[in-house]
Structure 1
């Protein structure tokens, strides 16, 4: 199958080329993202492979469908960047990677917690400058703290188990409760109780109309003073401007994010010699108690192998007419 591969990075080429056994699929790599302005590049292809910040809206779908694209292969779990009404109207199939390495994202969320808490990033920079002072680097014991987990799918469940291992009391909110997590000691509560009782809150739910800006001025007001807030799921789960106000008042004591609502114009690019035009993220970066990583949570060898393998299998399944177990039909 001839596949137009968008938003390509070096690691995409490395892993997809390695697992594309015997060049079963003809992959053409484009560094540009897919949107209605770049959709003309799909002429002569049968499929597109896209990532989280590609825009598969109605305009894009109209163009790629006219160009002969029959399937969109998302090499990620999230799919909020796809217009499914438009896809259905053109009989365009959409497949994804529903789970690649839940542990990779869960462990990254844990890394954000530990770094923010024990300030290891600041200690590292100090020592490199010959400053061995530990003034203002005080942290807290994670053991014994109450950790709230919003969303207990595969990633959220993995994160719960890690927090239990640290000796934390784990509260969870999800529309579907996991019997396995309950037996392990996780307590399911309503959302307000999780917000009110937790010392640390970690977001692991998908982005949909019900969860968009689930963290906002109202929900922040219910949290403990000095709460630690972590987001490794989707940027739009947090109203960033409300989070800034929470940071300014001290209601949010720590903020760790691997995702950002307007990340499409920022993440996965080297902007070190540029003036950042996004005033919101510039303000977030200015806080000493904010840690931002550029959508790094998925970035492990194991996850990249799974993403490549499952995506290529999705394409092979479509080409051979097999049932598409990873098709999104919403």
Structure 2
């Protein structure tokens, strides 16, 4: 099987090349450019393409892929809201993803963001680099004894629950399907989680129901001086209304690894550009906000798991196709 990799970064190449030793029948062609209607032709002659979380896999792109006989789309990520699944099914294109690679990797970044924004690590780092050792403006709060509200308790949310419990926090959660393995977690309504939490961490998928679940109404229900962390999907939060809440002094701190508008920024080096009229620029202007570049997955262990599962998905697809072709009709 020959696979065309779109939007391949150095860490992708390194991790997949290590795993390829265990998959001798797979050949990978790496390209730095992402998939688009103009770059679909790069996959001519390949059996499958591999894309990432922000790749454009809309109906027009899928139609062009089908036209060059691509029947398998491999997503080296858990999220799939960037692909038109209905169109893929209509075109006979199989879509396979990596539903779980390292829940701890994302959860550990979530608590890192919460701790950093709480203890003003970003501000302290800059001050000390400029020989300013004053502690003014760096006061945080203890997490021990506080209440952590986890919205979504799948594998990543569950890992976050365990981390918060390890800090000595009371852990409450909202999920339509409570995780029975989390016996120490108190499940309650979303409204109650918002009202009672000192730290709120989002760990749910982006659906029609969860789109902009954090908005002016839900923000109004939160405690004053709450810490909000989002390492899940940017559109869970209405950015304009989050900015309004920050300006009104609602939040002690906000940590975002994902955010609306990230599509043009994530994984790109734009250091020589001016982000004019940008949600990202406005968020970065606040001293109590930390933004990272969608790096929750970026650990050696997670990358290895993503590579291994993606390649195994390709093998499983090919074996199933061969089996179906050999069946007596």
- For this structure pair, what is the TM-score category when the shorter chain's length is used for normalisation? over 0.9
**In 2, Cα distance between the equivalents of 1:322 and 1:298?**
31
Measured after TM superposition, the shift of residue 320 of structure 1 is: 1.4
In structure 2, relative to structure 1, the CA distance for the partners of 1:17 and 1:225 (3 Å cut) is same
**In 1, Cα distance between the equivalents of 2:276 and 2:19?**
38
**In 1, Cα distance between the equivalents of 2:108 and 2:143?**
15
Measured after TM superposition, the shift of residue 10 of structure 1 is: 0.4
**In 1, Cα distance between the equivalents of 2:276 and 2:51?**
25
**In 2, Cα distance between the equivalents of 1:307 and 1:108?**
17
**In 2, Cα distance between the equivalents of 1:234 and 1:153?**
14
In structure 2, relative to structure 1, the CA distance for the partners of 1:278 and 1:268 (3 Å cut) is farther
Corresponding residue for 2:292? 293
**In 2, Cα distance between the equivalents of 1:207 and 1:129?**
41
Normalising by the residue count of structure 2, what TM-score does the alignment of the two structures yield? 0.95
Count of residue pairs the alignment pairs up: 321
Corresponding residue for 2:2? 2
Corresponding residue for 2:240? 241
Corresponding residue for 2:195? 196
Measured after TM superposition, the shift of residue 40 of structure 1 is: 2.0
Structure 2, unaligned runs of 5 or more: 323-329
Corresponding residue for 1:61? 62
Normalising by the residue count of structure 1, what TM-score does the alignment of the two structures yield? 0.95
RMSD over aligned CA atoms reads 1.2
**In 2, Cα distance between the equivalents of 1:302 and 1:292?**
23
Corresponding residue for 1:130? 131
Corresponding residue for 1:48? 49
**In 2, Cα distance between the equivalents of 1:294 and 1:86?**
30
**In 1, Cα distance between the equivalents of 2:124 and 2:261?**
30
Measured after TM superposition, the shift of residue 277 of structure 1 is: 4.0
Give a deviation string over 1:189-244, Cα, whole Å, max 9, x none.
01110111111100000011111111011111111112111000011100100000
Structure 1, unaligned runs of 5 or more: 324-330
Please state whether the residue corresponding to 1:132 is helix, strand or coil.
coil
Given that 1:259 and 1:294 are in contact with CA atoms closer than 8 Å, whether structure 2 keeps it comes out as: yes
